[in-house]
Structure 1
Amino acid sequence: MDPKILERLRLGLSDDERRLVIRSATGGEEVTEYSFGIEEEYFLVDAKTLDVAIRTPDDLFDAANWSTGGQAMREMLQAQLEVATNVHVDVGDAREELKFLRREVASVAGQYGLTILACSTHPTALWRNSQPTPKPRYAEMMEDLRIVGQRNMLCGMHVHVQLPDPDRRFAVMRAMIPYIPVFIALSASSPFWNSRETGLKGYRLAAYDELPRTGLPELFTSKKQYDRYVAALTKSGVMPDESHVWWAMRPSLRHPTLELRAPDVCTAVDDAVAIASLYRALARHLYLNPELADAVGNVERAIAVENKWRAQRYGTDCLFVTEDGPVTGQEILNRTIADVAEHAEALGCLAEVERCRTIMQFGSSADYQLQAYRESGGQLAAVTQWIAAATVSRAEPPQSQPSVEPVR
């Protein structure tokens, strides 16, 4: 492996030279406010047919874990693989690491006749064929969730931003609720399900929200309130710990971070970094202005619930509900960027935040998937081929720009 890549990503060999390690995780480096990390989930698919892999060997994950310095792991279903970046302050480093992780896990998967797809629903996968990962945690979850867990043939993206003060973290979560639909629209990559065009740009959350403790966060105002909620559920035997709270945004169990969980996984790395940067800048804005949380009450949350659905349905073509009437996604995004521009500049990610305008204008992965589908005369194979190419490289988009769907 190229030593320069290892140096840039703060990876090195363990003392016994048998595995890669993350040096920044063991070297005592201080983690600063607003540092961030990205988690992505991918489908493992046959390298030739691009059909989803139903059963996957442990050796593959052991090898992927080694080659990424411990940053690749199994998920609930055997068809899924998750990666997690190191903690970053520099957005350029995060981008390079995400590219590195995709290349590494794709390379390892290739040794087993597989590759990866970065999309939130596999266009042709049949959830009835899914197999759970043979681990006690997942076995317990499947025992509880039953068919709902089996239907979780879904992949997402999670972004963590460090916000050290616990109560202000909850103020940010509350203030962030109206913005969650914007992240859903920008990231949409799940227009197909069980070999059918769903009519939604982001079908993933329609299926995911069958699980308990999903959807938008509740209007908690402090960590104390949240802890009471978690304690009630754990003492009642509903869940073992707060990691089973699967809201679109939640405080992390293990880290002083606020975790955005709503986005679909982005097919393009640059889109993932852009959305993560927008979230990071917005988190800083809301953290430094905690009084903004006071403006989010029951009405604002109810409107956000409606906008969440509209973002799932229409993606970047969405008209958002406001008390003053409908507003385009582009206008909502423009207002948001105006609010956070100084914070993005302070964090060194203004260019990445600006890229969100391009996504909103030309479409997310869902739009390009649908364009490939239409240009091929309705061939889902053309969709999976485009996703496979775009996951690990800068694939060319379909021949024409995605058409803009009329919104209603």
Structure 2
Amino acid sequence: MTHKVALGVEEEFHVVDLVSRRLTPQAHVVLDGLPEAAFSAELQRAVVETNSEPTTDLAALRADLVGLRRRLMASAAPHGLGISSAGTSPLHGAGGFSLTADDRYQYLHDTYQFIAREQLICGAQVHVDIDDRDLAVLVAQRVEPWLPALLALSASSPYWFEADSGYASSRAVAWQRWPTAGMVGPFSGAAEYDQAVADLVTAGVIDDAGMVYFDIRLSTHVPTMELRICDACPLVDDVILLAGLFRALVVRETAAIEAGSPPRGDVRPTLLRAGHWRAARSGLEGDLISPVDGKPVPAPGLIEWLLEDLRPTLEQLEDWPTVAALAADALARGSSAARQRAAFNQRGQLTDVVDLVLKETAVG
């Protein structure tokens, strides 16, 4: 059996007033009394974050994430607040554009202006252990062509500022406005990666290495690789699916590098950027760009192909039954973006969209 590599998840959530269904800057109310190690504030006071414990087991990860969500909801409910997991929340409140009091967040606002003010978005981030930083940089670049498929699976932000954006993931498009967002590399190893980050600091683009927002980045303080491309997901099972797929990609490409095998996917920057846009545009309900030949392919077909391609690794990790079942369920029900639009189309009310996401977020 392949060594069971540890992984963990950070989830970001919107804080919603249950009467108006609008965002409300009351993260501090929800966080009051919760442990800082597992629950934290974000740039916007209408967003909270949870951090799971590292584990090698997907079932344990799921139980942890469900428990963290339930604790958030239990803290929010007495104040008339709800916890919503999606890339964006359809209804904004005037108080939603309120930054958390913190020197770092003040720097982000002063430097990036409207990009920071409009950062009312939530993501799901997966961390996978990898000790060798040189190897991690190479693995990240080989995993990168497959990230649009993971974005498509997570797409949950069709609404942007109370209107249909036309995208399955408006969050992914908004995120790309940050000057360090997007593709990693090309880098030959950790020295080049670290020098590029240092150059960004010297140039005044960022204040420190923690402000690097690559789709995959190396942690600045622990030996992990972070997946940062995905929307927050209403359903916990979709988060587990993403975590399982990402870990398998990392494990497979690590072994491939050690064996001297060539990359499986096309790593041309133009194709990668187009693939990212395509996934954000249509999620699971349209075509993705195949990183194998650059041709359009229906999203479910590409994800099923990726799943079979990863099957040997998933079986070695003993994750195959779980990940295969979760993938089948995700493809059968379609993206969160499509479900949100269906909810809106029933009565033409964005409150119905919020209610759907709140309900799905609470499903354990």
Query: TM range, normalised to the smaller chain?
Result: over 0.9
SS in 2 for 1:65: coil
Confirm or deny that 1:250 pairs with 2:220.
Answer: no
Query: 2:109 is paired with a residue of what secondary structure?
Result: helix
CA RMSD of aligned residues (A): 1.9
Please give the alpha-carbon distance, in whole angstroms, between the structure 2 residues aligned to 1:251 and 1:365.
Answer: 29
Q: Which residue of 2 aligns with 1:371?
A: 342
Report whether the alignment pairs 1:112 with 2:82.
no
Match of 1:200 among 167, 173, 183: 167
Change (3 A) 1:40 1:324: closer
Counterpart among 230, 238, 241 of residue 208 in structure 2: 241
CA deviation after TM superposition for structure 1 residue 139, in Å: 0.9
Which residue of structure 2 aligns with residue 260 of structure 1?
227
- In 2: Cα distance, 1:255 partner to 1:57 partner: 27
How far the C-alpha of 1:318 sits from its partner, in A, is 2.6
| Distance of 2:93 and 2:29 partners within structure 1 | 25
What CA distance in whole angstroms lies between the structure 2 residues aligned with 1:78 and 1:178? 34
Which residue identity does 1:51 align to in structure 2?
A: R
| Identical-residue share of aligned pairs (%) | 27
Q: Matches of residues 213-224 of structure 1 in structure 2 within 5 Å?
A: 213-224=180-191
* Pair 1:343 & 2:310 matched: no
| Partner Cα distance (2:58, 2:93) in 1 | 37
Give the C-alpha shift of residue 297 in structure 1.
Answer: 6.5
Structure 2 match to 1:392: 362
Counterpart position of 2:46 = 79
**Segment of structure 1 superposing worse, 109-118 or 177-186:** 109-118
State how 1:4-403 maps to structure 2 within 5 Å.
34-53=5-24, 55-56=25-26, 58-65=28-35, 70-125=37-92, 129-290=96-257, 291=260, 299=268, 301-322=269-290, 323=293, 325-354=295-324, 355-375=326-346, 377-393=347-363
Classify 1:62/1:305 alpha carbon distance in 2 versus 1 (closer, same or farther; 3 Å). Answer: same
1:53-99 deviations in Å (ceiling 9; x for gaps)? 1x326353231226xxx200000000000001000111111000100
Deviations 1:89-114 (A, max 9, x none): 11111000100000001110113221
Whole-angstrom distance in 1 between the partners of 2:244 and 2:327: 9
Unaligned runs of 5+ residues in structure 2 are none
1:45 touches 1:52 (CA, 8 Å); kept in 2?
A: yes
Instruction: Verify the 8 A CA contact 2:27 2:41 in the aligned structure 1.
Output: no
Take 2:95 and 2:214, find their aligned partners in 1: how far apart are those partners? 25
Letter in 1 for 2:342: Q
Partner AA of 2:123 in structure 1: G
Per-residue CA deviation, residues 304-334 of structure 1 (Å, 9 max, x unaligned), is 2111111111100231234363222222212
Cα drift, residue 298 of structure 1: 5.7
Deviation at 1:392, TM superposition (A): 1.0
Distance 2:124 2:96 in 1: 23
**CA–CA separation in structure 2 for the residues paired with 1:193 and 1:292:** 42
Q: CA offset at residue 209 of structure 1?
A: 1.2
Aligned residues between the structures: 357
The Cα offsets for residues 262-313 of structure 1, whole Å up to 9 and x where unpaired, read as 00011000111111111111111111111456566663x3212111111111
Task: Give yes or no for contact 2:44–2:120 (8 Å, CA) kept in 1.
Answer: yes
How many angstroms apart in 1 are the aligned matches of 2:215 and 2:27? 31
SS in 1 for 2:10: strand
Query: Which ranges in structure 1 are unaligned for 5 or more consecutive residues?
Result: 1-31, 395-408
Deviation of 1:128 (Å): 8.5
User: TM-score by structure 1 length?
Assistant: 0.83
Indicate the larger mover: 288-297 or 358-367: 288-297
